[in-house]
Structure 1
Amino acid sequence: MKKKYSFFKNASYALAGVKRALNESAFRIEFVIGICFILFALFYPFSLFEKAFLIGVIILVFAAECFNTAIESVVDLATSKYHKLAKDAKDLGSAGVFFTILIAVLTWLSVLYKEFL
């Protein structure tokens, strides 16, 4: 028999994932900086579309870092020895985070440029 879907149980799993991500120093740094940017976006008189876009790219960085942490956890579970494929998996996860941060920076710069110049 298939288990019944429970929104609250699934939300608790997601919150456990956020709690786990906060154990990672990179995520903590990105989270603190990201929350500062989110607060700025909420309280500065940007348009609703700009607010959504600016906050969305920050949340995208959080998601990418969670995926990267998940990849690293699985790799660490699979092997404690050096392996080129394990290194590739970790490096590619980090590259994904780098690209989402780049997207966020370019998005914020373009909106701020339009706003202040």
Structure 2
Amino acid sequence: MIWGKFLRSFVYASEGITYSLASQRNMKVHFTIAFIVLLLGMWFHFNTMDTLIILFAIGLVIGFEMVNTAIEATIDLVTQEFHPLAKIAKDVAAGAILMVTFTVVFVGLVVLFPYLTLIYQEGWKGRLPSQPSFFILQGFFLLLFTYVVKAYWYKKQSNYEPNVLVGILFYLFVLFYFINVLFSLLVFFLLTNYLIMILFKKKFTWVGFVQNGLISIGGFFLLYYLFY
């Protein structure tokens, strides 16, 4: 029962991310910038600390944008007429996003500058060796990309959306296969049980399943051979 409640909560939260991405122009901008920064992180081989800073910054901006969307939706639910307090609430929420965005941009520049300087001075030979944090950046990139695909099908009002948890399990399976076969078998067991459960409830399609495989497994190998 606890597992079922957790899954329902995860699904509802995931739907919130999908709706925000499908309906909000600013969210699309945030995702686009996030993709660029994550690709740079994989290309430059960010160290662990820089990876954590970048992921926190991306999550902060996207999270604040979603809160702003929730505030706007709540205000529109209460009143469709112009009201000074409604304007203040929306403006303050938008101002919070702007302030966070300014901060994150400067944080990103601080993180990127040493890598750009090193490459400028020493060329690609001066680039840092491959970092374990590469896989964290890679996994986050594929997670965000899964939400992009979900948002696309959401706007089409189709049930072909990939499942985020299936995508995560697919990624963990191929990642642990590289690291330890035993862990990959455990993930495969969890994936199989989860697939049986959601397919039995008819909340998942084979088109979504194939998309999860292409994004998580295909994306893993593509990014690995391009940047690692």
Q: Is 1:16 paired with 2:18?
A: no
TM-score, length-scaled by structure 1: 0.89
Name the residue aligned to 1:44: 44
Q: Distance in 2 between matches of 1:56 and 1:40?
A: 16
* d(CA) in 1 for partners of 2:25, 2:89: 19
TM-score (norm 2): 0.47
Cα shift at 1:55:
1.8
The structure number with the bigger radius of gyration is 2
**What letter matches 1:97 in structure 2?**
I
Cα RMSD of the aligned pairs, angstroms, is: 1.6
What is the match of residue 25 of structure 1? 25
In structure 2, what residue type is equivalent to 1:64? Answer: F
Q: Deviations over 1:69-90 (max 9, x none)?
A: 0000001111111111100110
- 1:85 aligned partner: 85
Unaligned runs of 5+ in 1: none
Q: CA deviation at 1:4?
A: 5.3
Q: Which amino acid aligns with 2:20?
A: A
Q: d(CA) in 1 for partners of 2:48 and 2:2?
A: 37
Identity, in percent, stands at 28
Kindly provide the amino acid, as one letter, of the partner of residue 59 in structure 1: G
Whole-Å Cα distance in 2 between the matches of residues 10 and 84 of structure 1?
35
Is the counterpart of residue 56 in structure 1 residue 68 in structure 2? no
Aligned: 1:112 with 2:97: no
Structure 2: distance between partners of 1:8 and 1:42: 31
User: Is the CA contact 2:44–2:115 (under 8 Å) kept in the aligned structure 1?
Assistant: no
Counterpart AA for 2:39: L
The answer for unaligned runs of 5 or more in structure 2 is 118-228
Q: Distance in 2 between matches of 1:63 and 1:25?
A: 15
Residues in 2 aligned to 1:57 and 1:95: alpha-carbon distance in whole angstroms: 17
1:28 CA drift (Å): 1.2
How far apart are the structure 2 equivalents of 1:43 and 1:8? Answer: 34
Aligned residues: 115
> Offset at 1:41?
1.8
The one-letter code matched in structure 2 to 1:61 is V
The whole-number CA distance in structure 1 between the counterparts of 2:12 and 2:85 is 29
